[in-house]
Chains A and B, each alone.
Chain A
């Protein structure tokens, strides 16, 4: 090789090294978390509807085809505890050792009276809600508050299909919509034509689209709140605040996390039929302005596709699972699973003029996680997160994944606060921005509240950045135009932000600004 060639090789390699500096310097979740597949029971369709842990530290899971299994991780063995349940989508181990499961039509307590490892008594705790036979009427759960009240949530029916002639619960005819209008086949006519006359999602039997509370010792289900659509994730925090994950669709422009208020209407109109003062017309025909004034806005919107698609269970983000500063309380951030993408959504709450809002971002955004993450559960020591997967008829996967934090600290954003002129990001360590080719980008848009399915990004606008300041562990973004109310700000931070801990772990944040500072 002559000298010229040698110099060329050296030059090329240096150039490649420089241009690919980002690849070497890029944050990788695999450096901080181990991802492993956990065995599932033999001959059981491993689509998880619920995950819990018993006092012995064993996983207790319910599956799509009605089984309840118990997993001894030390022995890597599963045993089947119960079978024959109807699409169970939540499980809870009680202090007494009994197991609560929520099925489509029943909240069931499983007893093992002879202690042989198999349920021998399937007790009805409550079945006090309607079921029309529509395929989309899932029943989700379940959590308890400090008074041991149980909370479940009922999904609405979809006009993808009608209902059955025999139903449970009385049909609600408000607005003149009779049950016959929702029957199809044979003498009842073709559904493709009949569906044109009914709303996209509907709640014509009690209490679809509502959050229900069942008190200890009572079989009665009380309507705790209205206005959810497909509420596939419930979480009760340490302050007895109920959070619910709801999914994009009609009246739900983007998937969202609700901060449920007792007696409140949370936006999806179908369930207004079951409110204390129901309307005297089809709820979907009510003026949007009237509905807008009634509804409690979800603190956080998760723009479809970019941020989330089909969200699931909510948990807090704990200090055992992520390098959160000790001064930050665990109530300050939530995580929520997602079906469509290999990632977990993290919610960073903010309160502006009394309005709950805040920012969403991603963690564990890696193909190692896999999709279909329906039910989440921490290990006893909190260092591991189990993710039970499902797909049913939607995008997703099967199986059980375990993700364990190795304890090595990395750089993450602990809070995003709105300011009068922009946003303040607080990191868990002092940061610096090694300026590189990537820069900051901010786009604002509106998510519409309307009967339409989902929402386009309305009034999209690129926001000019006036200034960026770094002060210790804070990054302060000032916009050329001060933040406006009722917008989502899609913020991409520079991926050259770094620290002694690591490079930045997540660069994209969606801030829901219901309210702003004057």
Chain B
């Protein structure tokens, strides 16, 4: 009997140890609505998509619960580096009040953590190798622009507009953009600006581009019925742009802003226009 009782006691203790116990603690429990709607963007003590709970508790102490609820229902936009918070109007105001109380409770005695905002992929090889093509929003060109980043000493970039099918400008400098890639890329200083080459009312249609083994591009497009290939080459201190048509070259006029950094000259035949951009 004693043996059996001892055995049963050992098993019972083992069960007690192995069984997770949920008993009342003084731990703060997140309301269900917080878990469903807020937790993904708001961590306890570090900012991710939205400010941390600790920061929110500082902005909205107990006396500002009404303002907190109002913000949740109709969020403003105060931080450029953070996305727009969506409305929480689908949550009942009583639940928003509970969420506010939870935020205050869970933040007591907790310090904020500051994490580095460094973009670890900004300088990844695929985004720094030259030559390469990037497609980003850039200033002074259409939203469909290709950046041909050239392997030159000053990091020249050809900004080629795939909507107008033409070179828009040549800049010099590193290409950089925020990690979200939703704003304008920085392509350095504009060295040279060019207006549309071909006269007349042409309807450009971009057809694509091929890359050679060195990563340099040949653009394909049409101007009305004229099919064009445009090859970009780097030859020493010059960019050579060869525009070949499958029929007769349309009338053209080279109009560019005077530049102290780049000098351009042109030559043409019946089917080909060659533009040479010399770095000064």
Contact = CB atoms under 8 A, between A and B. Distances in A.
Q: Do A and B come from one complex?
A: yes
Interface in B99-154: 121, 124-127, 132-137, 141-144, 146
Contacts of A9: 9, 12-13, 16
Interface in B1-36: 5, 8-9, 12-13, 15-16, 19-22, 33, 36
B137 to A, nearest CB: 6
A67 interface: yes
Nearest to A128: B205
B135 A16 contact: no
B181 A164 contact: no
B13 A13 contact: yes
A390 to B, nearest CB: 11
Contacts of A305: 33, 36-37, 90-91
B211 interface: yes
A330 B83 CA distance: 38
Contacts of A106: 144, 162, 206
Contact of A44 (B36, B82, B124, B206): B124
B181 A83 contact: no
Nearest to B21: A16
Contacts of A87: 181
A45 B126 CA distance: 11
Contacts of A135: 182-183
A249 to B, nearest CB: 7
B36 A306 contact: yes
Which bracket fits the contact residues of A? 35 or more
A309 B37 contact: yes
A44 B126 CA distance: 8
Given A16-B19, A305-B90, A167 B142 contact: yes
Nearest to A23: B20
A103 interface: yes
Contacts of B124: 43-45, 65
A119 B19 CA distance: 57
B77 A393 contact: no
Contact of B49 (A65, A105, A108, A394): A394
Contacts of B82: 393
Interface in B153-169: 162-163
Interface residues of B, number: 59
A153 B77 CA distance: 28
Contacts of B33: 305
Interface stretch (A174-182, A451-459, A476-484): A451-459
A393 B16 contact: no
Nearest to B127: A65
A12 interface: yes
Contacts of A392: 180, 182
A360 B127 CA distance: 42
B84 interface: yes
B132 A160 contact: no
Interface in A34-73: 43-45, 64-67
A127 B163 CA distance: 9
B206 A164 contact: no
Given A12-B16, A87-B181, A395-B40, A456 B92 contact: yes
Interface string A239-274: 000000000110001100000000000000000000
B196 interface: no
Q: Which of A44, A84, A122, A340 has the most CB of B within 10 A?
A: A84
A105 B5 CA distance: 77
B210 interface: yes
Contacts of B5: 6
Given A43-B124, A167-B143, A168-B163, A124 B207 contact: yes
A437 interface: no
Contacts of B77: 160, 192
A131 B125 CA distance: 29
Contacts of A103: 135
Nearest to A103: B135
Given A20-B19, A121-B208, A6 B90 contact: no
B181 A127 contact: no
A172 interface: no
Contact of B40 (A85, A160, A309, A457): A309
B261 interface: no
A371 interface: yes
B248 interface: no
B142 A67 contact: no
B90 A455 contact: yes
B134 A20 contact: no
B19 A45 contact: no
A352 interface: no
A94 interface: no
Contact of A304 (B37, B136, B180): B37
A84 B135 contact: yes
A316 interface: no
A17 B142 CA distance: 68
Contacts of B182: 135, 392-393
A371 B83 CA distance: 18
Contact of B12 (A13, A120, A254): A13
A18 to B, nearest CB: 10
A83 B210 contact: no
Nearest to A123: B208
A162 to B, nearest CB: 12
Contacts of A105: 135, 143-144, 162
B204 to A, nearest CB: 11
Nearest to A372: B40
Q: Which among B92, B126, B142, B180 has the greatest number of chain A C-beta atoms within 10 A?
A: B126
Given A13-B19, A43-B121, 16 more contacts: A9-B12, A13-B13, A16-B15, A44-B124, A84-B146, A87-B181, A104-B143, A106-B144, A106-B206, A131-B144, A164-B143, A192-B77, A309-B37, A393-B182, A453-B87, A456-B90
Interface of A: 6, 9-10, 12-14, 16-17, 20, 23-24, 43-45, 64-67, 80, 83-87, 103-106, 108, 119-124, 127, 131-133, 135, 158, 160, 164, 166-168, 192, 219, 248-249, 253-254, 303-306, 309, 339-341, 371, 391-396, 452-457, 460
10 contacts: A43-B126, A44-B121, A84-B146, A105-B143, A106-B144, A131-B142, A160-B84, A253-B90, A339-B40, A393-B82
Q: Which 6 A-B pairs have the closest CB atoms?
A: A395-B40, A305-B36, A86-B135, A135-B182, A13-B12, A305-B37
Interface of B: 5, 8-9, 12-13, 15-16, 19-22, 33, 36-37, 40-41, 48-49, 77, 82-84, 86-87, 89-92, 121, 124-127, 132-137, 141-144, 146, 162-163, 179-183, 205-212
